[in-house]
Amino acid sequence: MCVGEGILPSGPLNGAVAGKVKFSTTLRPPEKPFLTVSWSFKGKNIITSTSTDIIDPGHVDRISLDRTTGALELRNLVLEDRGEYTVTIIPEGGLQELGKTTLDVYVPISGATIRSPTATLIENISSTNLSCEASGSIGTRVWLMDGLPLQPSGTVSLSSENRTVFIQPVHSSNHGTYQCRVSNPVSTVTVAYNLTVNFGPHNITIIGPSEAAPGRRVILQCTAYSVPPAVFSWMLNDNETHVNTSMYVIERLQTENIGNYTCTARNVVTRLENSTILNLREL
């Protein structure tokens, strides 16, 4: 008669190649030692322990048996160790205990990398893709962008098993750090890739007062959303000023400094430019 079908976890247990796993039973150490503890793998005996131990040659030096609970430790795992394990325990004066469970063995993830075609990407013109490659037993691939889950959209799509991200065409919102997280039950590796999308200049703005008192120092700051950073030029009342920085400084406001200041931002890669105007008046 057999009882105790649940003396092993239902499984599967997970192990890594070259690692170890322990099959623990739910039994407490008895007052008297078990008469027999026997483990088998796929129906083949691994070890039978009575007053002496009979061990399968393929498992010598790879297993340790805890005679007090019947637990078995298996070391130096290989892929061929996957399958069903059965333990049979006969206590002194008791009923036979039987347990079954399964073991899955995985090769740990290694060598993860993100590959992408080498090209200069320009917003709304170029397209690209990112491929996540890795060695080992790959269970899942998860993509993140700037730390958040990557969401497919009208221009972003994923291949089967999330191996490749397609972006057609690229947009400024696609500029950032992409991460691919490759996992299996025994390991997780995350790799990052910085995707550069050249765009802009967008959102040209002049920060500064629209009026100031004569003799005051006035600073006008031009900003633009652009990759690479924009280069700037200034005009006053449609006349060149030869100021080619983002900041325009008027040390002492005079009559000739009054009028329309035009800041032009230019992107040397996209070859686009945009301008904005601030009208500076005298108090």
- Judge contact between 210 and 280, C-beta under 8 A: yes
- Token pair 């347990």 is found at 99
CA distance 223 to 9: 63
For residues 170 and 121, is the Cβ–Cβ distance under 8 A? yes
Question: If pLDDT is split at 50, 70 and 90, which confidence band does 176 have?
Answer: very high
Q: What is the mean pLDDT of the chain?
A: 95
Cβ atoms of residues 213 and 283 within 8 Å = yes
Whether 3 has a pLDDT exceeding 60, the answer reads no
Least confident window among 3-7, 162-166, 236-240, 253-257: 3-7
Tally Cβ neighbours within 10 Å of residue 106.
Answer: 21
CA distance to 84, 109, 117, 134, per residue, from 191 (Å): 35, 12, 17, 10
pTM of the model: 0.83
Omega within 30 of 0 (cis) for the link into 12: yes
How far is residue 52's CA from residue 177's CA, in Å, rounded to a whole number?
A: 60
In this predicted structure, the answer to whether residue 2 has a pLDDT above a threshold of 80 is no
Stronger pLDDT, 283 or 185, i.e. the higher one: 185
Q: What is the mean pLDDT of residues 234-260?
A: 96
What's the average model confidence in pLDDT over 183-208?
97
Mean pLDDT of the 55-76 span: 96
pLDDT in the model for residue 260: 98
Going from the N-terminus, what domains does the chain have, and what CATH number goes with each? 2-106 (2.60.40.10), 110-195 (2.60.40.10), 199-282 (2.60.40.10)
Is 198 buried (19+), middle (13-18) or exposed (0-12) by CB count in 10 A?
buried
Cβ neighbours of 115 (radius 10 Å): 12
Buried b (16+ CB within 10 A) or exposed e, 64-88: ebeeebbbbebeebeeebbeebbbb
